[in-house]
Amino acid sequence: MSDKCKKVYITTPIYYVNDVPHIGHAYTTIIADTLARYSRLVGHIDDVFFLTGTDEHGQKIEQAAKARGKSPQEYADEISGRFKELWDEFEISYDKFIRTTDEDHMRGVQKAFEVMYNNGDIYKDVYRGHYCVSCETFFPETQLIDNEFCPECGRSTTMVEEESYFFRLSKYQDKLLEWYENNPECILPKSKRNEVINFVKNGLEDLSITRTSFDWGVKLPESINDPKHVMYVWLDALMNYVTALGYGNDEKLMDFWPAKVHLIGKDILRFHAIYWPAFLMSLGLELPKHIAAHGWWTRNGEKMSKSKGNVVNPKEISDAYGLENFRYFMLREVPFGQDGDFSQKALIDRINSDLGNDLGNLLNRIIGMSGKYFDFNVKSDGVKTYHSTELEEVESILSNIEEYLYEIQTNRYLEELWKTLRIANKAIDTGMPWAKMKEGKEDEAMATIALVANILAKVAVLLHPFMPKTTQKIASAIGFEINTESYNKIIKNNELLGDFKIEKIPPLFPRIEEQQLLETSTQKSETVK
């Protein structure tokens, strides 16, 4: 995300309501939330728009509702509510929660259909081919496994032969290739871009964008006068990114467009990196700056999904281990774009080691020493005299750290932050303030404690988007509040804290010892030493 444009529009996928939220959904949403919080912190306060929501139409939802004896709308209301409730409990800082059953969204999709139809990009024909209801995707016979099974999820596909409207996707092949070529960062991680380019180079077929064999979907615009068709769920769903800003209705939020980043999982990269830009080109709208696709959370190597019965409930995990610890773990554990196997043991190790030992103990050490030797009053004026080398080292590490977030490499960003904690811990071990006090070198002891407090201040500010409440507690223990003003002072201008009073607070990350792991529905207990 290297371009530093003023308006920052960040989106998550809109999740299907056939599945209750699991940690895969939480992961995407937490990354998006962290980026939104970061953008607000660095000063874009009123210029951030963060969108999430639910995808409620299509055959898959219609079937799921039917299986439960509910109408699709009743069923969608219930599951959409579960997503919204979870994001509210997780304090996800979204600006809008969109549902594809919202009236204004549906009007916007109809408007888009009309624009594409009127400019000649939509025509009517007959679709003959295979459809995977679970993936809501059409597949040509050549891509099927054993002539029948879906190449994405392995489920049986159904042969479909029905009248359909088509979008002239093939017409956009060269323009898409040009876009990927001219915008090396349009797809993140960059390695994924090549996969998309190869796919497009193999040739694009026109895309069937309406269905007649069921009716839980957006109707075509009245001007087209063809009531038996409903729109293909992916056209409906992708349009959410602009209808949320008022496209086709009251367009007053459209100045947030183009999106700075669409965060998605790699399972839906093709829809976002091929169909979506082609639709936008047809509509004459700008293309998103970045489409960022992360990997999968797996259990024992298999993608976590409800149908496999191996999902981990994010609420259970956050209740057991703390929401912000869980946030830290997810964004620290796996390099963006790669898959990661979820284990509670790994989560506990991160809490005890990174958070407890490296961060929490450091704070406890300076609380203890500043209290014992200086009645909690700290002065930063000796830091540059006695610890200029450490300070410069820390400033140099932090001067480039933002770049990692622009590329959504949250694990690298956090690794860099932790390097500065190691410098702080080492400064105490080598500076030995307790020995300095005995030798009567109070200034030096004070300088070491102040250095550590200043490093902790920087870490707290930069970690704030990941762990909002915990870092605010750290900041208040060292006498300041995290906001854009303190970000500017402490990070941008590298100002020291000056004279301040440390406040004693209870340990932030109590050690999890010999813990009997939480029994989740999919997980047998394992004991952690």
Binding site residues, ligand ME8, CB under 6 A? 13-16, 19, 24-25, 27-28, 55, 237-238, 240, 264-265, 267-268, 296-297, 303-305
| Token pair 């999902």 in the structure block, residue | 311
Is the Cα dihedral 332, 337, 342, 345 positive or negative?
Answer: negative
* Residue with the shortest CB distance to ligand ME8: 24
Residues listed for the chain: 529
How near is the Cβ of 108 to ligand ME8 at its closest, in Å?
14
| Token pair 């920052």 in the structure block, residue | 8
Strands 158-167, 122-132: pairing kind: antiparallel
Q: Are 212 and 289 in contact (CB under 8 A)?
A: no
First to last CA, the chain: 41
How far apart CA 412 and CA 399 sit, in angstroms, is 14
Is 28 or 110 the residue whose CB approaches ligand ME8 more closely? 28
How near is the Cβ of 236 to ligand ME8 at its closest, in Å?
9
Q: Are 48 and 96 in contact (CB under 8 A)?
A: no
Please classify residue 114 by burial: count the beta carbons closer than 10 Å to its beta carbon, then call 0-12 exposed, 13-18 middle and 19+ buried: middle
Determine if residue 5 is labeled as part of a ligand binding site: no
Is 253 or 528 the residue whose CB approaches ligand ME8 more closely? 253
Q: Which of 264, 268, 244, 240 is nearest to 254 (CA)?
A: 244
How near is the Cβ of 339 to ligand ME8 at its closest, in Å?
8
How near is the Cβ of 9 to ligand ME8 at its closest, in Å?
14
How near is the Cβ of 517 to ligand ME8 at its closest, in Å?
20
How near is the Cβ of 27 to ligand ME8 at its closest, in Å?
5
Phi, psi angle pair for 269, to nearest 5°: -65, -40
Is 152 or 495 the residue whose CB approaches ligand ME8 more closely? 152
How near is the Cβ of 24 to ligand ME8 at its closest, in Å?
2
Q: Are 248 and 25 in contact (CB under 8 A)?
A: no
Is 337 or 431 the residue whose CB approaches ligand ME8 more closely? 337
- Number of CB atoms found within 10 A of residue 181's CB: 11
Determine if residue 186 is labeled as part of a ligand binding site: no
Is 19 or 121 the residue whose CB approaches ligand ME8 more closely? 19
What tokens appear for 296 in the block? 């999968």
Burial 223-240 (b: 16+ CB within 10 A, else e): ebeeeebbbbbbbbbbbb
Is 291 or 474 the residue whose CB approaches ligand ME8 more closely? 291
How near is the Cβ of 505 to ligand ME8 at its closest, in Å?
35
Q: Are 416 and 398 in contact (CB under 8 A)?
A: yes
How near is the Cβ of 499 to ligand ME8 at its closest, in Å?
47
Is 33 or 55 the residue whose CB approaches ligand ME8 more closely? 55
Q: Which of 237, 224, 16 is nearest to 113 (CA)?
A: 224
Burial 18-43 (b: 16+ CB within 10 A, else e): bbbbbbbbbbbbbbbbbbbbbbbbbe
Q: Are 422 and 483 in contact (CB under 8 A)?
A: no
Per-position DSSP letters for 44-72, written without gaps between them: IGGGEEEEEEEE--SHHHHHHHHHTT--H
Is 268 or 453 the residue whose CB approaches ligand ME8 more closely? 268
Is 30 or 383 the residue whose CB approaches ligand ME8 more closely? 30
How near is the Cβ of 305 to ligand ME8 at its closest, in Å?
6
Is the Cα dihedral 164, 170, 175, 179 positive or negative?
Answer: positive
Q: Which residues are annotated as a binding site?
A: 132, 135, 150, 153
Q: Which residues are annotated as a binding site for Zn(2+)?
A: 132, 135, 150, 153
